A and B are shown apart, each in its own frame.
Chain A
Amino acid sequence: MTSTMTPKRRKRSAEPARIPERGGRKLGYWLYFLPGALLVSVIIFYPIVRNLRLSFFHWRGGRAEEEFAGLDNWAALFQDQEYLQSFQNIILVIVAMVIVPTLLGLVIAALLFDVIGRRFGGKLSSFLRATYYLPQILPIAVAGVLFGWLLKPNSDGVVNQFLTFITGSETTVNWLGGSYPTAMGSVMVLMIWIQIGYPIVIFMAALQRVDPELYEAAELDGANWYERFRAITLAQIKPEVFVVSLTTTIAAMKVFAPVFILTQGGPNKSTYVPSFYAYNEFVNGTDKGYAAAIASSITILVAIVAVIFIRVQNRSERKDA
């Protein structure tokens, strides 16, 4: 069923749209690239090339001389505790930005669509959907400041006061500065809070596409809710699950603001993520070459992940066809 909605496929099947030409000259079309190509070369490709090159040099920045370093910077990455830690944290960020929101999103979307939409009315389910989506539109920096306030240490923190109220005993956890588990956990909760609305909205739209008769047939065959969910819902909205995982995985690898606002990488640099580390090295570090190596390594990794995802998707599309 994905095949009918794939633009690529339609492009190939039908005759493409084009303006008939007398001489069939296509050269003129390249002129339309001028502004876009010029901009993308200066703003995107010049920095990429420059940083890739810089990653093979030591450079203090400013007027200092560049000093060729060969593979030194790249080799140093693998000995660098903070760098390795930052990649370990990326796995936790992927849990918080991709895995948890996608799984929760599937359950909540099915709940809103199947139970609430069907049995309690479309108005309520649309309203709840908008509510879950709300954190998505807040600037992440603003959301970060909000959570920073909630998680203040000692007894003026909102969360601490709340816990004191529930447990009855004075709670004074230093959530963001105390220890790695609470700091990283707090960052992850913020990420889940921000991300949750995105899969819900996409999956609910996908569910509208599923033919209701499939469910009725399954119900007549005596399938229970879980069996229907797995055999029909999941199978039918697989493409959306795929798109959500791809886009959020790439976003997770590039994540910056939540860490910058909430923990500044602390305590003891334990909540570093690669982009924060690279930024910090560029701004405060002594070797921009090393910072460039960090940034380049993330860039390469993002590109690899994107290519793998696209390949897998193309393969599964071919299988479906």
Chain B
Amino acid sequence: MTTTPVQKDTTRASAGSGQPPSDDQLVKARGRRGGRPRTAAEWILMLLGVLGAAIVVFPILLLLINAFKSPADYSTSSPLDLPRSFDLTGIQTFWEQNDFLRALWNSVFISTMVALLAVVVSVLNSFAIGIGRVRGRTWIVLLFLMANLVPQEMLFDPLFTLYDDLGLLSNSWSVIITFVVIQSAFGTYLLSSLLGTFPKEILEAAAVDGASRWRILRSIIVPVVRPTLSVLMVFFFIWTWNEFLLPLAFLNTSDSLTVPLVLEQLSGERQTDTTTLIAGTLISIIPTIIFFLIFQRTLTRGITAGAVK
């Protein structure tokens, strides 16, 4: 899943001769001998590539077709048939039976808070590690990284008891606190090596001007690394949005559920009508797809900005 290493934007830029070439430039560079007509083999390979992509989206297309069938239409037709008429019964039933807006709000609130707070914690940690270069920093980074490595079932029972004692069960903050720690582990790892290469001259100039550490961090370092911070935030948001095990364990009342949990609960109920379930699945996918479209550029930049340590 979802383990998507974002790594320093700077590594790639420094790797070759400046900026990474864009797709178009590369096409030009590599197609230099171009001008020759496409061969039959190339057409076949292209079609294979398209076919593969079609197979990948096929389940989602099926979902789209069947979400707009009436229950009667669904039970009498094949899932591959187009709906006979545009019917919203499934979507309406899903909407009425589940407080989807509430779940949507819970998911947005949890993911946003985690994205913001985890970035703050990552910046503080990595300031001490990357700029402060405290003793034993390699080990400290490893200790923080444990949060990312440890399987969630190892955390589940003790944290459940802890949040129970604190009265935080079925409260968004139980999930927020937990994932701030888990996500900031990755942020600390990433930002520490990025800050380790921060231009020395800037820091010296600021210190000569009498700026305190806290001020240097706030007014100089954070603005400079802001692009990386925004990539981190987008990833923290999506990762948290998609989380399943710990939210499942901590959030038990119907008004505290997140989007994936609502859907899981719906699919677990025997009496759920299939069209309702399909409509619910489609509706649950929509926020993620909107998010994907908005942040597609940030996402690809983040994932590709150098998967290499």
> A18-B131, A19-B216 known; A165 and B78 CB under 8 Å?
yes
B99 adjacent to chain A (CB < 8 Å): no
B228 adjacent to chain A (CB < 8 Å): no
A128 adjacent to chain B (CB < 8 Å): yes
Partner of B130, one of A17, A216, A282: A17
State the total of A-B contacts with C-beta under 8 angstroms. Answer: 367
Q: Is the CB of A36 within 8 A of B188?
A: yes
B88 adjacent to chain A (CB < 8 Å): no
Q: Describe B's contact surface by its main secondary structure.
A: helix
Q: Is the CB of A29 within 8 A of B127?
A: yes
Across-interface contacts of B157 in A (CB, < 8 A): 47, 51, 282, 288, 291-292
Q: Is the CB of A18 within 8 A of B200?
A: yes
Q: In the complex, what residue of chain B is closest to A50 when comparing beta carbons? A: B158
Which of the segments A76-84, A108-116, A226-234 contacts the partner chain?
A108-116
Interface size class of B (residues with CB under 8 A): 35 or more
Partner of B155, one of A43, A114, A150, A240: A43
Across-interface contacts of A250 in B (CB, < 8 A): 3, 149
Most A CB atoms within 10 A — which of B79, B130, B305?
B79
Across-interface contacts of B266 in A (CB, < 8 A): 145
Cβ proximity bits A214-253 to B, threshold 8 Å, 1 near / 0 not? 0110000000000000000000000110011001101101
> How many angstroms between the C-alpha atoms of A128 and B188 in the bound complex?
33
A179 adjacent to chain B (CB < 8 Å): no
Partner of B199, one of A17, A28, A119: A17
Across-interface contacts of B2 in A (CB, < 8 A): 136, 140, 251
B57 adjacent to chain A (CB < 8 Å): yes
B93 adjacent to chain A (CB < 8 Å): no
Which of the segments A65-73, A167-175, A180-188, A202-210 contacts the partner chain?
A202-210
Residues of A in contact with B (beta carbons under 8 Å apart): 1-2, 4-8, 10-11, 14-20, 26, 28-30, 32-33, 35-36, 39-40, 42-48, 50-51, 108, 111-112, 114-122, 124-126, 128, 130-132, 134-142, 144-150, 152, 156, 158, 161-162, 165, 193-198, 201-202, 204-206, 208-209, 212, 215-216, 239-240, 243-244, 247-248, 250-251, 253-257, 260-261, 274-275, 278-279, 282, 288, 291-292, 294-296, 298-299, 302-303, 306, 313
11 A-B pairs within 8 Å (CB atoms) are namely A36-B188, A122-B24, A137-B291, A140-B260, A149-B281, A209-B15, A212-B29, A260-B244, A260-B245, A261-B264, A279-B156
Identify the 3 closest CB pairs spanning chains A and B, nearest first.
A29-B132, A205-B304, A122-B23
